[in-house]
């Protein structure tokens, strides 16, 4: 699969502008026959589900131009913070790829044009069409217990929100514990996964998905969704990937030294549930008023009797009451 991706990349780069390109020229540039070129175009259609027009006398054209990820630009933006930066055309999951990568090379970054099995919190599928959004993961080793890492998604979320605003997205909030939102619509989400390592340390992979273009898959979700494109932010996906990767790795280092306290003020400013009625889905559903988070990152919900009840990530689903 990696060899096929490498063979397809020059053809992708040639077609990315959305203009017509003659088959003869494309075959000459690739050093292959017209028949071999046709097979490569078929792989782009089948493997990446790209819509490529073919017309006799005109050649091939990608129906929608692509802003392809550029590995060198991403590495330059990340800088020396990452031990290894990997850019893939297709992968099952950038989180899974890093979880399987050698921990000795951490901190690392992996991003991809598409995911075939992208995941969100609680195993939910994440729509990951080719070249339309950003799928990014970083890995970092923490000398913490798993319990101490429970608030990490909040630190990563407020960090990502700040970067997205710097790229032109307005007023990005964090819907506890891991959704990036604008005016109630989901712009992105985070998935943090931890594994114990030798010596008692924990290796954490932080996955981040951000809707860049507003592709049709976003309109079929079970909740409102938005995109950077819809919010009026025109971005280079490579610049965004590199900047986000650098910011997330720096935030991991800061969290390792100071915990959630270093991000508490920023979270309070971005808390999309604060003082709103919420429904908590547990064995039975119950309602209350969201009152921020505690020092461990647990959501504090004021119940009908006026008391506060802690809600921990991973065991509930919280929806703002209509």
Cβ-based neighbours of 75, under 8 Å, separated by 6 or more: 82, 85, 242
Residue 66 exposure: Cα atoms within 13 Å on the Cβ side: 27
Burial class (CB in 10 A: 0-12, 13-18, 19+), 322: exposed
> Is residue 196 within 8 Å of 204, Cβ to Cβ?
no
Confidence of residue 298 (pLDDT cuts 50, 70, 90): very high
CA–CA gap between residue 5 and residue 22 (Å, rounded): 22
Q: What are the phi and psi torsion angles at 295 (to 5°)?
A: -65, -20
CA–CA gap between residue 132 and residue 11 (Å, rounded): 18
276: annotated active-site residue: no
Q: Pick the catalytic residue from 40, 119, 186, 270.
A: 186
Per residue in 68-126, pLDDT (tens digit) is 999 999 999 998 888 899 999 999 999 999 999 998 889 999 999 998 875 555 445 55
C-alpha closest to that of 44 among 18, 20, 12, 71: 12
User: Which position has the higher pLDDT, 60 or 196?
Assistant: 60
Write the class of the CATH domain 71-269: alpha beta
Task: Output the average pLDDT for the chain.
Answer: 88
pTM: 0.88
Could you check whether the bond before residue 177 is cis, i.e. omega within 30 degrees of 0?
Answer: yes
Cα separation values, 56 from 18, 59, 61, 319, Å: 17, 6, 12, 53
121: annotated active-site residue: yes
C-alpha closest to that of 315 among 302, 298, 291, 295: 298
Q: Which string of DSSP letters, residue by residue, matches 205-256?
A: EEEEEE--S--GGGGGSSS-B--TTTTT----HHHHHHHHHHHHHHHHHHHH
Cβ-based neighbours of 321, under 8 Å, separated by 6 or more: 276, 277, 278, 279, 287
Cα separation values, 168 from 48, 65, 236, Å: 29, 22, 12
Q: Pick the catalytic residue from 84, 121, 274, 291.
A: 121
Query: Which residue reads 């217990």 in tokens?
Result: 145
C-alpha closest to that of 86 among 241, 232, 288: 241
186: annotated active-site residue: yes
Cβ-based neighbours of 175, under 8 Å, separated by 6 or more: 181, 186, 272, 273, 318, 320
CATH of 273-320, one of 2.30.30.100, 3.40.50.11540, 3.40.30.10, 3.40.50.620: 2.30.30.100
CA–CA gap between residue 222 and residue 236 (Å, rounded): 28
Domain ranges of the chain: 2-62, 71-269, 273-320
Per residue in 127-159, pLDDT (tens digit) is 578 998 999 999 999 886 666 788 999 999 999
CA–CA gap between residue 282 and residue 288 (Å, rounded): 13
Task: Enter the tokens of residue 50.
Answer: 């790209």
The correct answer on CATH 3.40.50.300 for the domain covering 2-62 is no
CA–CA gap between residue 149 and residue 192 (Å, rounded): 9
Per residue in 160-198, pLDDT (tens digit) is 999 999 999 999 999 999 999 999 899 999 999 988 765
Residue 180 exposure: Cα atoms within 13 Å on the Cβ side: 30
Check residue 95 and give its pLDDT: 95
> Is residue 235 within 8 Å of 163, Cβ to Cβ?
no
Confidence of residue 236 (pLDDT cuts 50, 70, 90): very high
- What is the arithmetic mean of pLDDT over 247-274? 94
CA–CA gap between residue 135 and residue 82 (Å, rounded): 17
Q: Pick the catalytic residue from 39, 49, 124, 319.
A: 319
Task: Enter the tokens of residue 75.
Answer: 């590495």
């Amino acid at each position: 699969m990696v060899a096929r991706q490498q063979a397809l990349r020059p053809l992708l780069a040639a077609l990315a502008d959305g203009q017509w390109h003659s088959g003869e020229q494309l075959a000459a540039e690739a050093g292959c026959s017209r028949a071999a070129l046709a097979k490569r175009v078929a792989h782009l259609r089948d493997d990446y589900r790209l819509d490529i027009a073919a017309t006799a006398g005109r050649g091939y054209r990608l129906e929608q131009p692509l802003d392809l990820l550029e590995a060198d630009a991403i590495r330059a933006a990340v800088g020396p913070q990452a031990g290894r930066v990997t850019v893939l055309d297709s992968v099952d999951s950038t989180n899974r790829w890093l979880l399987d990568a050698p921990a000795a090379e951490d901190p690392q970054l992996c991003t991809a044009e598409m995911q075939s099995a992208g995941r969100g919190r609680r195993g939910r599928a994440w729509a990951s069409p080719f070249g339309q959004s950003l799928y990014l993961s970083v890995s970092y080793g923490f000398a913490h217990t798993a319990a101490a890492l429970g608030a990490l998604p909040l630190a990563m979320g407020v960090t990502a929100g700040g970067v997205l605003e710097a790229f032109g997205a307005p007023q990005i909030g964090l819907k506890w514990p891991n959704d990036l939102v604008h005016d109630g619509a989901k712009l992105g989400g985070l998935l943090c996964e931890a594994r114990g390592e030798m010596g008692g340390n924990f290796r954490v992979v932080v996955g981040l998905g951000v809707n860049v273009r507003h592709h049709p898959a976003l309109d079929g979700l079970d909740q409102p969704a938005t995109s950077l494109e819809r919010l009026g932010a025109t971005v280079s996906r490579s610049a965004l990937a590199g900047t986000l990767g650098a910011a997330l790795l720096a935030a991991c280092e800061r969290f390792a030294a100071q915990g959630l306290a270093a991000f508490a003020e920023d979270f309070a400013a971005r808390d999309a549930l604060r003082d709103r009625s919420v429904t908590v889905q547990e064995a039975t559903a119950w309602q209350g008023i969201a009152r921020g988070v505690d020092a461990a990152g647990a959501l504090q919900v004021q119940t009908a009797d006026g008391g506060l009840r802690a809600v921990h990530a991973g065991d509930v689903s919280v929806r703002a009451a209509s």
